[in-house]
Amino acid sequence: MGLVYAQHFRTSNPTENSTPASRNSSVSSKSSRSTFSSLYSPKSSISSGSGSLPPQTSQNYPPTRILRCRKCHNHICLSSLIISDNFNGSLGPAYFVSKVLNVKLAKAREFKRMKTGRYEVKVIDCKQCDCSIGWKYLYSEEDKEKYKEGRFVVERALLEEVEM
């Protein structure tokens, strides 16, 4: 009887008889992949009360952020409206965006000379606290800069970004 038990123990451990090298490598690659995927879990967004926009469910895109006025927290733009984050404003790095919210457009046009040429612009102010947040391009003298017309530059120094 004692012999039967011993044989049973031996065969119940399959790794002992198989080739150790190939088995180990396949097991380790499998386990590292599964732990990696479990590392990423999307942050559950806290509802801010204004639930007018549908929640972003795709994990391939970063979540949309709100760009708001640093002074008064008025919502100025959304990260999904950013065309380029490589623009220069009067105060340093700026966003080039297709649309802005809750701003006042100045009545007077101004001419602005920049590295890329001369533009006609209108200053945009935060509707709530009147701080100048950037400008709107009305007209470009250079043909290759025409794509900027009707679009906006907002100063990153005057904005802060929050998750929706």
User: What binding mask, one character per residue, do residues 6-45 give for Zn ion by CB under 5 A, x or -?
Assistant: ----------------------------------------
Residues 6+ apart with CB under 8 A from 25: none
* Token pair of 152 as six digits: 């906006």
Q: Which stretch binds Zn ion (CB under 5 A): 80-88, 98-106, 110-118, 125-133?
A: 125-133
Residue 64 binds Zn ion (CB under 5 A): no
In the complex, what is the shortest distance from the CB of residue 28 to Zn ion, in angstroms, rounded to a whole number? 55
List the structure tokens of 8.
Answer: 């049973």
> Nearest-CA neighbor of 94 among 80, 83, 110?
83
Q: How far is the CB of 128 from Zn ion (least distance, A)?
A: 5
The amino acid occupying position 26 is S
SS3 71: coil
Residue 126 near Zn ion by CB under 5 A: yes
Member of 79, 80, 128, 132 binding Zn ion (CB under 5 A)? 128
Q: Which residues contact 16 (CB under 8 A, 6 or more apart)?
A: 10
Please, what is the minimum distance in Å from the beta carbon of residue 152 to Zn ion?
15
Report the residue number, 114 or 131, with the smaller CB distance to Zn ion. 131
69 binds Zn ion (CB under 5 A): yes
Q: Tokens standing for 60? A: 């391939």
Among 91, 105, 129, 162, binds Zn ion (CB under 5 A): 129
In 3D space, the residue among 130, 124, 90 whose CA is nearest the CA of residue 108 turns out to be: 124
Among 63, 64, 71, 79, binds Zn ion (CB under 5 A): 71
Choice between 126 and 164, CB closer to Zn ion: 126
32 phi and psi angles, rounded to 5 deg: -65, -35
The torsion region of residue 58 among left (phi > 0), alpha (psi -120 to 50) and beta comes to beta
Instruction: Summarize as ranges the residues that interact with Zn ion (CB under 5 A).
Output: 69, 71-72, 74, 126, 128-129
